[in-house]
Structure 1
Amino acid sequence: MELSIHSLASGIDTVWVLLCAALVFLMEGGFAALEAGFIRSKNSLNIIMKVIMDCTVGMIGYFAFGFAFMYGLDKAGFIGFSGFFLNGDMTHLGLKIPVYAYWLFQAAFAIAMATIVSGAVAERMKFAPYIVFSFLATVIIYPVAGHWVWSGDGWLNKLGMMDFAGSAVVHSLGGWASLAAVYVLGPRTGKFAKDGSVNVIPGHNLPLAALGAFFLWFGWFGFNPGSTLSGLDMNIARIAVNTNIAAAAGGTMAALYTAFRYGKADPSMTINGALGGLVAITAGCAFVEPVSALIIGGIAGVLIVFAVAFFDSVRADDPVGAIAVHGVCGTFGTIAVGIFAENGGLLYGGGVGLLGVQALGVIAVSVWGFAATYGLFSLLKAIVGIRVAVEEEIEGLDISEHGITAYNDLEYNPMPTLGHTVNTAGTVMTVENRLAE
């Protein structure tokens, strides 16, 4: 059968969106490695399990209800009410690709928003209540914000808010939801001394965290360029360049600033600086020049350093820096569109109109994320409890929640070697003695 130009273009766009959806989904592996590396080894399996739950129950929640609430028909501008379980007529979306491809792409975004919170609550939150949060985050918290900004019926969309790939809808929402979760949950045992000073709790594997950051950086080439929904849109090249240059600037500035301020370039800040640059450019990647992307990313890299210190000072214990990376840099990046956008930005003669809309939009989305998460966590805390016992926290959530450790060879060496083995305390035991135990 001879293909028409229209069907060929639709096929190319469909393959493009499916490929980008896969890249965005791969970011969950990046989140898992990043968060596991930034926390203690005794909790690393637990955090990976929480990320997996985002990919399982979160995906199901978005399939059953979230996509309908986000993109269903709506006359009031606040929430949709059609398309549950991907059933019904969705032609009002005006898609040039199958709705299934669009759903898959958006589902990867939805679970990313939930996963942002997983890192902030690491090392002390119960597993079962987190599953409830993950489900409801993709069912209602993310879809409501997405409807406001990205649905044609959304009230912020009608005001002209510009958030191309989600600095506000995904990152600000997830970042400020993380702050709410952290305040309800409380800090890790031993994080803050009685005099208010901060005790550093280092992550167990920064190379693993760095590898996770590289996976996230790679996945962002699906996150941002994929939001064109078209492989035939020539702007995808500039979007990719803007994405990359903002990440490079963020990592560079975080390294240079920490070297200047502390005498040595800080690896964790550099990692998060690159991610902060990615988060910040996500709103404006399609609307700004590469030089502007460089500036936006660089500012985000410095903001990370200040933000992490600030949230420690207000006793918001965030083991991976999710609030700083996603909340602060997502908010900054959304507002930056009102300054740097070639069409309507303040520096391009657009006045303060777009800047005002961007500020209003990111405040609305952030307040919604904070309030909804604070309410949900408070309710879960009252009904089932959300925090593990102190003894379980000290033992580690891998054992208390899952009955296994991530690094079992640290417990003991099961292979007899030269007539003896060594346990984790360094005690030498003969093979005969251990077999007798």
Structure 2
Amino acid sequence: MITASGPLPGDNVFFLLMGAILVFAMHGGFAFLELGTVRRRSQVNALVKILSDFGISTIVYFFIGYHIAYGISFFGDVQQLTGSDQGFAMVRFFFLLTFAAAVPAIISGGIAERARFVPQLMATAFLVGLVYPFYEGIVWNGNYGIQAWFTHQFGAPFHDFAGSVVVHAVGGWMALIAVWLLGPRRGRYGRDGSIHPMPPSNIPFLALGSWILIIGWFGFNVMSAQQLQAVQGLVALNSLMALVGGMLAALALGKGDPGFVHNGALAGLVAICAGSDVVQPIGALAIGAIAGAIFVYLFTFVQHRLRLDDVLGVWPLHGVCGAWGGIAVGIFGLRALGGAGGVSMVSQILGTALGLAIAMLGSLLVYGLLRKSVGIRLDEEDEYLGPDLAIHHVSAYPEEDIQKA
């Protein structure tokens, strides 16, 4: 019930809970996007990996990460935890957890089909428990005085409303390091320079994953306001315009390829997160369209020129489009282009660069140490068999396997 004086505490609890549920549902989208993109022998692994990563993320973020980012822990009794705000702090933890857990979900798509299961869970624990919340706290809680310094030096703090950089760019650049350290799937690139296609196993599942992510994204962006009285219809409209811009650009440049179309929409949404509350809707359309073009061109460049086997293209999609979204705030957020103002291009560049540096350094340390200590890649026989059978001992199509036998 909203009174004349504003929403009651319970209203905000329910509002943010709905946002948390929407973003939690996005993890199903991550799972089906990966399931549809990988080969048939890796589909079970995609589903198990995303849900398991979420479980590990919950534990480490609850006990370690949330305290690093916000200085808050949940070790009091029930009366202390609920208090006068009816547990708003706890549902806020749930909401922000779903953001944190998106980081390993992003990484999962890049390293698909050849990563060992338990070492990846170990990587998730370190990245979500330590690395991600370190940068999250800098941007969203003002830790270490960096945002205050940006404001003092350049007139405005680094602005990332819903995580173009904090979540997506950080996850994408972590994934780049992991992909590089793992190496390509066996058979992806020939010694003679040839490139062997490994087409998606199920386009309908890929499309379903994209649709689930698109729907949940409105919770991701709009409900980042975290309070009913702070909600902006502008954020919803900008999210819509950016996803359409990204999709249409990818449709045109990707020549109707369904993978480009469905990921192009996600590219637009990744890019608009940071500035969805300060840019004009036509600016959001442009941000999304540029992101869609970035994804189409960089996906091909990474696979063919750099020869990095980033299976779902998570570095172009989340890493580069996320960084573009952070920088785009400094352009389209200006009053001269119809934006709300109060942004600084220098702060946007430096804040974005800081996030990328923390992500790459953290990922290099975590995956580098795991590679040297326990190993991060399936052995040749298990990779040939496929992670579904090698790790989980069941395939996505057991009836067909029995018939073939």
Q: TM-score, normalised by structure 1?
A: 0.85
Query: How much has 1:153 moved relative to structure 2?
Result: 2.9
The alpha-carbon deviation at position 196 of structure 1 amounts to: 2.8
Task: Output the amino acid matched with 1:299.
Answer: I
Distance 2:34 2:24 in 1: 16
Alignment of 1:207-246 (within 5 A): 207-235=204-232, 237-246=233-242
Percent identity, aligned pairs only, is: 36
Aligned to 1:39: 38
Partner of 1:252: 248
Q: Which amino acid aligns with 1:406?
A: A
Q: Summarize the alignment of residues 404-419 of structure 1 with structure 2, pairs less than 5 Å apart.
A: 404-412=394-402
Equivalent in the alignment of 1:415: none
> Separation in 2 of the partners of 1:239 and 1:86?
35
Residue 232 of structure 1 aligns to a residue whose secondary structure is: helix
Structure 1 match to 2:55:
56
Q: Secondary structure at the match of 2:159?
A: coil
Counterpart for residue 429 of structure 1: none
Which amino acid is the alignment partner of residue 281 of structure 2?
A: P
Alignment of 1:383 with 2:359, yes or no, is no
1:333 aligned partner: 325
Calculate the aligned-residue CA RMSD, in Å. 2.3
Q: How far, CA to CA, are the matches of 2:145 and 2:180 in structure 1? A: 30
Deviation at 1:154, TM superposition (A): 4.5
Question: Counterparts of 1:8-407 in structure 2 under 5 Å?
Answer: 8-72=7-71, 83-85=72-74, 98-158=88-148, 159=150, 160-235=157-232, 237-259=233-255, 265-312=256-303, 313-342=305-334, 354-407=344-397
CA distance in 2: counterparts of 1:201 and 1:316, whole angstroms: 14
Contact 1:42 1:398 in 2 (8 A): yes
Residue aligned with 2:344, SS: helix
**Residues 349 and 380 of structure 1, relative CA distance in 2, 3 Å threshold:** closer
Aligned residues of 1:181 and 1:374 also touching (Cα < 8 A): yes
User: One-letter code of the match for 1:323?
Assistant: W
Structure 1 CA distance, aligned partners of 2:401 and 2:123? 33
The structure richer in helix per residue is 2
Cα shift readout 1:117-174 (whole Å, capped 9, x = no counterpart)? 0111100000010110111121012101101111133544322000000000000000
CA contact (8 A) 2:242 2:286 kept: yes
**Equivalent position amino acid for 1:210 in 2:** A
Q: 1:240 is matched by which residue type in structure 2?
A: A
Give secondary structure in 1 for the equivalent of 2:101: helix
In structure 2, the partner of 1:424 is: 404
> Counterpart amino acid of 1:340?
F
Aligned partners of 1:339 and 1:347 also within 8 Å: no
Contact 2:279–2:338 (Cα < 8 Å) also in 1: no
Q: Secondary structure at the match of 1:50?
A: helix
Q: Distance in 2 between matches of 1:105 and 1:154?
A: 23
Counterparts in 2 of 1:289 and 1:125: CA distance versus 1, 3 Å = same
Query: What secondary structure is seen at the aligned counterpart in 1 of 2:8?
Result: helix
Letter in 2 for 1:320: L
Give yes or no for contact 1:250–1:277 (8 Å, CA) kept in 2: yes
2:153 counterpart residue number: none
Separation (CA, whole Å) in 2 of partners of 1:406 and 1:308: 27
Take 1:314 and 1:205, find their aligned partners in 2: how far apart are those partners? 26
**For the structure 1 residues 190 and 155, does the alpha-carbon distance in structure 2 shift closer, same or farther, using more than 3 Å as the test?**
farther
Name the amino acid aligned to 1:338. G
How far apart are the structure 2 equivalents of 1:318 and 1:3?
48
Q: Deviations over 1:340-382 (max 9, x none)?
A: 0145x7776979x711111111111011111111111111111
- 1:324 shift after superposition: 0.9
Higher relative contact order (CA 8 A, sep 6+): 2
Contact map agreement 2:172 2:317 (CA 8 A) in 1: yes
Is 1:156–1:361's contact at 8 Å kept on the other side of the alignment?
Answer: no
Whole-angstrom CA distance in 2 between matches of 1:207 and 1:157: 43
Q: Is the 8 A contact 1:62 1:138 kept in 2?
A: yes
1:162–1:284 Cα contact (<8 Å) kept:
yes
- In 2, Cα distance between the equivalents of 1:349 and 1:225? 17
Describe the superposition over 1:322-350 as per-residue Cα deviations: whole angstroms up to 9, x where unpaired: 1111001000011000000145x777697
CA distance in 2: counterparts of 1:51 and 1:349, whole angstroms? 37
Higher alpha-carbon Rg: 1
Whole-angstrom CA distance in 2 between matches of 1:397 and 1:181: 18
Structure 2 CA distance for aligned equivalents of residues 388 and 398 of structure 1: 12
Gaps of 5+ in 2: 151-156
The one-letter code of the counterpart of 1:205 is N
What is the distance in 2 between the residues matched to 1:49 and 1:350?
44
Is contact 2:127–2:362 with CA below 8 Å preserved after alignment?
no
Q: Deviation of residue 251 (structure 1)?
A: 0.8
What letter matches 1:17 in structure 2? L
Is the contact made by 1:178 and 1:323 (CA closer than 8 Å) also made in structure 2?
Answer: yes
Deviations 1:80-128 (A, max 9, x none): xxx344559x99xxx9972101101100101011210011110000001
Number of equivalences = 392
- Cα distance in 2 for partners of 1:104, 1:349 equals 30
Separation of aligned partners in 2, 1:348 and 1:107:
30
C-alpha distance 234-68 of structure 1, shift in aligned 2 (>3 A): closer
Letter in 1 for 2:169: S
Structure 1 residues 126, 234: closer, same or farther in 2, change over 3 A? closer
